[in-house]
Amino acid sequence: MNEIDQTSALILSHVSNSAIVHLPGRKFPAVAIQGDSLSIMLGQAKFFANFFLKENNEELYFEALDLALKLQAHLTQYEDVLEKNGMTIPYVLSVKEDRIANEWSEV
């Protein structure tokens, strides 16, 4: 296992799938979401993007696509860190195996 950064974060609150943490050097606290929960959110954003694509709603398609791409970027970083530290992902399909693409031009 690789060495994990031991910078301390203050846990202000936590529930089963998320926590409010205050990272050193940051003015405002952050929300830490479990990786499997973030993966579910990505699936939902992809569902809405596909729905709006089929409905030919360009504005909402690109809003949903933008959200999905942002979630994908967070999950990519999450998976990279887990891999670097010898850990497995807590969901079935890696985000690296199911990349999101802009399909609007195919409508």
Spell out the per-residue pLDDT of the chain, length 107, in tens: 455 566 799 999 998 899 999 999 999 999 999 999 999 999 999 999 999 999 999 999 999 999 999 999 999 999 999 999 999 999 999 999 988 989 887 55
Residue 82 CB burial class (10 angstroms; 0-12, 13-18, ≥19): middle
> Does residue 84 share a domain with residue 54?
yes
> Does residue 46 share a domain with residue 80?
yes
> Does residue 54 share a domain with residue 16?
no
> Does residue 21 share a domain with residue 56?
no
> Does residue 91 share a domain with residue 67?
yes
> Does residue 23 share a domain with residue 42?
no
> Does residue 57 share a domain with residue 43?
yes
Range of the domain at 16: 1-33
Q: What pLDDT score does 32 carry?
A: 96
CA 77, CA 5: separation in Å to the nearest integer? Answer: 15
DSSP string, 46-104: HHHHHHHHHTT-HHHHHHHHHHHHHHHHHHHHHHHHHHHTT---SSSS-GGGS-----G
> Does residue 50 share a domain with residue 23?
no
Cβ neighbour number for residue 72 with a 10 Å cutoff: 20
> Does residue 70 share a domain with residue 29?
no
> Does residue 85 share a domain with residue 39?
yes
Q: What pLDDT score does 3 carry?
A: 54
> Does residue 81 share a domain with residue 51?
yes
**Domain count within the chain:** 2
Residue 58 backbone class (left: φ over 0; alpha: ψ -120 to 50; beta: rest): alpha
